[in-house]
Structure 1
Amino acid sequence: MIQQLRAPLPQQALAEAEALLDKAPHKALDQAEALLRRMPGFGPAELLAARALRRMGKGRQALAKLDALARGSGAVPVVLWELGQAAAEAGDTARSIAALQALVQAQPGVSGGWFLLARQLRKAGHAEDAWRADLSGVHASSRDAGLLKAAVAVQDGDLGAAEALLAERLARQPDDPPALRLQGELAWRQGEMTPAIDRVERAVALAPGFDLARDFLIRLLLQTNRLPQALEHAEVLQRSPVPVAGHKLILASVLVRLGQQERAAALYRELLADNPDQPQVWQNLGHVLKTLGRQAEAVEAYRAAVLRQPTMGEAWWSLANLKTVKLGADDIAAMDAALVSLAGTVEERKEDVFHLHFSLGKAHEDARAHEAAFVHYARGNALRRTMIRHDAAAFSGEVRAAVETFSAPFLAQMGEGGCLAPDPIFVVGLPRSGSTLVEQIMASHSLIEGTMELPEMMMIGARLQSRVDEGEFPDFATMIASLSPADRRRLGEEYIERTRVHRQTDRPLFIDKMPNNWQHVGLIHLILPNAKVVDARRHPLSCCFSGWKQHFARGQTFTYDLGDIGQYYRDYVGLMAAWDMQMPGHVHRVIYERMVADTEAEVRRLLDYIGVPFEESCLEFYNNDRAVRTASSEQVRRPIFRDGLEAWKPYESWLGPLRSALGPVLDSYPDAPAA
């Protein structure tokens, strides 16, 4: 029979029968049997008959033929492949595993055999062997010429060619995990997050041991703020029989996002115990320790990072950004030397360079060398401004659209609706406005939980705006007006549900301190009518200058130019004044300077607005050891101080562009201009 399988074949008859297998397997069987009548025992025809029987649902007959072929032909891959599939479909897991193990031993480069073997091993309860089989399948796929061609097209940005290649492959092999993962990456590069996640989830479902796909899926879930799902997959990844350090790193990043800082710190320490020469891990550990309020340990971690990589700009900035730390002459010399060493690589190392300039600005400011400080801040901001997109005029137009939309008559016309949950307290305003102080005061109350800057409302707002951008509605006002009471209730419930993961206590109220939510106060009112909104406001020169010299890890793209940040503050004041006019009493304003001057009176006013009784603990907010992730994390662990009220004054002669952009807002503070 071996000779018959390898002998010259009646190609035309076999090809005709092969073509009928999928659509008319009974006809393929007829042709195979006709061949066998002419050539009894002819192996290829026996195999074709078995394949037809399997597709007709006659698994037992197919298995009988395939067993006979396997005994007679030995380890012929095509026979083993069919036998493995037929046994799997018949529920004979042991026979399927035996055939597939023989197959992958004979042809280790065929990924499909490994993936099918993994599924059968998993059914038999051999989880680790199944995981390793999936990994072997992925390894085999890495040498597949068709997949390599598609991967190169994706990397080269030829997305149309990649899409065609993958579509053609998946039409032939719809359950091919590596092709699905690559198709997910293609969708991600095209900005299609939902299809990207769907395809990578399918790849992981088909091959649970596909670690690289699961890693990519976690990153996609993090990008879309699906934190519980990301944590679930990150926990699975830790159980891989082929562990790598990156698995712990991605789990730690998920834990940080979920506010589980202690567990993230433990993972970083485990990684450093295995290999202490990892500056990025030292820096990550420093971030967690800073959030936990363990400042001395954070300093040690950041210094360990720059010791191992002196040009690591972000680690220097993290050290400088600890408001309780002052960098000395040796640090300035080390950062100057780092800039010199990076001089020829500014384009490639922009991140390090601008971080070093911000750090040197802080170091010179601490030394009261204000001109040198301003020069470095200006250089850092100018470089960072080239790396981000912010259209101040377009943003002002969006603010005007919000003012025109959310008028009192419009709100009255919308009527009642939304989710009635009273849980959220939104703290809004500009960064560096004292919002972290306000949050810490409220979070020291027994009925209020502090969380972090939550992106959920921004995401809901962006999703609604996309309906305008994609042409579903002619303008923002029409889109908002289309929201029925039920729509608004669903959106409010979505916000409550998506933020639930950040709530670690049973306190009935919680704080969302995303400052940019001042843009969405009207939307908040429509979908969460019982939510509270607290506007934290600080003197425009103090607030804007502090924001300009603060590098933010993400977002806040308006802060890297004095004119941009001044215009942004002006837009903010204008829109908040409109909310006050159209929704009187809906927003409670905390003026930072008043909070500093008479803390108890302002705290009592704030708590009255929230609707909770006064508690002394709110005046002792600095004793609250909750994790704080913002730039003011160290400052709110001390009693209120007056040092920062006029920190801008030594730089006054250089702040002309800021003054011009602020215009009448500067003179009218703390009120809005009459116009």
Structure 2
Amino acid sequence: MGGTANSDSAAIGRARAAFAEGRRRLAAQLAGEVLDRDPMSLDALEVMALVRRASGDVAEAERLLRTAIAAAPTRHWPRDDLARLMLESGRPHVAEQVCRDAIKADPANANAQAMLGSLLSGREELVGGAAHLRAAIALVGPHPQLQANLGRNLARQGRLAEGERLLREAVAGAPESLQALAWLAETLEQDRRFDEASTVLDAAEKLAARQNTDVTLQRATLLSRTPDWRRGLALLDSAPMLSGAALLQRGRLRDRAARYDEAWQDFISGKAALARASGRHYPRGAVDRLIADLRAFFAPDPFRAMAAAPVKQGTPQPIFILGFPRSGTTLVEQVLASHSRIRAGGELPFAAELSAIAAELSGGAYPTCFEALPADLRASLATALRDHYLARAEAYGLLLPDADFFTDKMPLNALYLPLLRLAFPAAPLVAVKRHPLDVMVSAMSHDFTHGFDCGYALEDAAHHYAATSALTDYWRDGLGFPMHELRYEDLVAAQRAETAALMGHLGLATEPAQLAFHTSPRFAPTPSYAQVQEPLNDRSIGRWRHHAPPLEPARIVLSEAIARGSYAG
């Protein structure tokens, strides 16, 4: 027995050495011989999985790693390797589940905590991502990459001071990390500290030159915030190749310089490049079916047959801000959050969670068959949804004793508004409107993933706008949801009166800070952050006229929404 063990150990040592030397066939042969004697040998499974992974045989590598997990459920490396394999093979959702399983098996798995934190951060689940990144740091101590990832996560939540501190620590710990330097410069720019951001970018440029890359996009973005914005445009104009994000930035600057045809081409090319790089596409048929199902499920009579949840007294209530991305919802949230009794929640992911809970509790009856919804669930569902939403809001730090309200501006809220209305029957609803064609121009010039990735092609964005606009009007007119409609153009033209009307809908008096929202120290972590750091202006009104010819297909799709809003065009 001992001789066999020693022989296997020696064979594994030779197999590892062969793999390190690139002799995969020999490594596989040696590991295979060990597996013939002991099919659950962790060392042999590891070597064989490495060989299959290096050879591109993802399916076999996955099988071997899952075998290793079954053999040793508490060991870290099989789960860690499997999660990395799933990421490399373009299966992030599987990687996420592997990480969750790994943490469930052992919360002290630092690699799983770090990977899950990065995965969640990458898809904008920032609060959850930050929790796992913090857990990883608590396990391994200060680590520059983890500090950088957490710092950027916090900055994207709007917590710029915390993010800056961590990013500076990451730069100190890894001075050659271009990523950490670039993120630090971005955070300083977002905090309106342009000179400091420029100094950091100077250091980043020197480092980038040694690494055969550049920070042209970051420099152009910084310059776009200053009177020297044309120099940023010149940098991008002279760049030989641009990423999708850089094309969008150049397009915005070309638009600002009245180079409208070139700007539109940059928008189209930039969005196409981003879609190719990410694999994102708009599932139009599935979205249309979902909307049809929701309208049928929440017809007036069925909706009235469901019991609304009682208002939970003594707890801040949500304000649901409805509107297509780039319609002015960030501006409205900034106005609201400048009030002493209102906190900014941002784009909270809770509505989609409520939809998943309703589907689970109903055994799949929601959202396709109201008649199959059990009677007891019709009476209890709303309270269950309310309690889940409030528990999540508390975890996000939104249920503060000095606040009456907090905002929720997730664009998906329009889809699931009846669920939100059942859970919070007294919550204020604010529907933000803007000329649909101006929304299209802004949507095509910025990257966003809301709306089932509709924003990567003009036709998809227009289709989704038309569908969700009609759905919102149905909730208002068909189900009688009381909404305060706020037109972006009216707010620009009559800020004081429109702000007073908005606050009247909430039952609060306007505060002076709301009329000077652009001076708020709060950072709005959306693509609109720069705009809401400026006083109200009319520069974005009527932009669509400069792009009328390429917008014609969208104008046809949006004709009803344009007419309903009494807009020209």
In the superposition, the TM-score normalised over structure 1's length comes to 0.68
SS of alignment partner, residue 645 of structure 1? coil
Q: State the match for 2:350 in structure 1.
A: 456
Question: Which amino acid in structure 1 is aligned with residue 274 of structure 2?
Answer: R
Of 494, 497, 506 in structure 2, the residue corresponding to residue 610 of structure 1 is 506
Equivalent pair of 1:293/1:627 in contact (CA under 8 Å): no
Q: State the match for 1:327 in structure 2.
A: 229
SS of alignment partner, residue 452 of structure 1? coil
The aligned runs of 1:398-547 (5 Å cut-off) are 398-417=290-309, 420=312, 423-461=317-355, 464=358, 472-473=364-365, 476-478=368-370, 481=373, 483-503=377-397, 505-506=400-401, 507-547=403-443
Identity %: 25
Structure-2 change in CA distance of 1:568 and 1:170 (3 Å): closer
Matched, 1:283 2:182: yes
Q: State the match for 1:347 in structure 2.
A: none
Question: Which amino acid in structure 1 is aligned with residue 439 of structure 2?
Answer: C
The aligned runs of 1:80-91 (5 Å cut-off) are none
Q: State the match for 1:596 in structure 2.
A: 492
Q: State the match for 1:375 in structure 2.
A: 265
> 1:555-583: CA deviations, max 9, x gaps?
76222222222222211221111011123
In structure 1, list runs of 5 or more residues that go unmatched.
12-75, 78-107, 110-141, 343-351
Structure-2 change in CA distance of 1:572 and 1:290 (3 Å): farther
Equivalent pair of 2:133/2:146 in contact (CA under 8 Å): yes
SS of alignment partner, residue 292 of structure 2? helix
Q: State the match for 2:101 in structure 1.
A: 199
Q: State the match for 1:165 in structure 2.
A: 64
**Alpha-carbon distance between aligned partners in 1 of 2:202 and 2:253, rounded to the nearest angstrom:** 15
Question: Which amino acid in structure 2 is aligned with residue 334 of structure 1?
Answer: L
Question: Which amino acid in structure 2 is aligned with residue 550 of structure 1?
Answer: H
> 1:502-557: CA deviations, max 9, x gaps?
33653231111222322221121122223222111101111111111122377762
**Alpha-carbon distance between aligned partners in 2 of 1:247 and 1:202, rounded to the nearest angstrom:** 21
**Alpha-carbon distance between aligned partners in 2 of 1:401 and 1:323, rounded to the nearest angstrom:** 44
Of 498, 516, 520 in structure 2, the residue corresponding to residue 624 of structure 1 is 520
**Alpha-carbon distance between aligned partners in 2 of 1:193 and 1:488, rounded to the nearest angstrom:** 33
Matched, 1:315 2:215: no
Question: Which amino acid in structure 2 is aligned with residue 284 of structure 1?
Answer: W
> 1:589-645: CA deviations, max 9, x gaps?
111111112222211211111122232322222222112112222222232112211
Structure-2 change in CA distance of 1:298 and 1:534 (3 Å): farther
Q: State the match for 1:651 in structure 2.
A: 547
> 1:224-272: CA deviations, max 9, x gaps?
9876665455345435667542121233244335543211101212333
Question: What is the root-mean-square deviation of aligned Cα atoms in Å?
Answer: 4.0
> 1:197-226: CA deviations, max 9, x gaps?
443114544xx3x54333224335657987
Matched, 1:392 2:294: no
The aligned runs of 1:61-460 (5 Å cut-off) are 144-150=43-49, 153=52, 161-162=60-61, 164-182=63-81, 189=91, 191-192=93-94, 195-202=97-104, 204-205=106-107, 208=108, 211-219=110-118, 222=121, 231=130, 233-238=132-137, 244-256=143-155, 259-298=158-197, 301=200, 305=204, 308=208, 311-312=214-215, 315=218, 318-319=221-222, 327-328=229-230, 330-338=231-239, 340=240, 342=241, 352-386=242-276, 387-417=279-309, 420=312, 423-460=317-354
Structure-2 change in CA distance of 1:373 and 1:316 (3 Å): farther
Question: Which amino acid in structure 2 is aligned with residue 657 of structure 1?
Answer: P
Q: State the match for 1:101 in structure 2.
A: none
**Alpha-carbon distance between aligned partners in 2 of 1:487 and 1:382, rounded to the nearest angstrom:** 42
Matched, 1:577 2:476: no
**Alpha-carbon distance between aligned partners in 2 of 1:656 and 1:162, rounded to the nearest angstrom:** 51
Between Structure 1 and Structure 2, how many residues are aligned?
Answer: 525
**Alpha-carbon distance between aligned partners in 2 of 1:476 and 1:298, rounded to the nearest angstrom:** 52
Q: State the match for 2:448 in structure 1.
A: 552
Equivalent pair of 1:427/1:513 in contact (CA under 8 Å): yes
Question: Which amino acid in structure 2 is aligned with residue 522 of structure 1?
Answer: P
CA deviation after TM superposition for structure 1 residue 305, in Å: 4.8
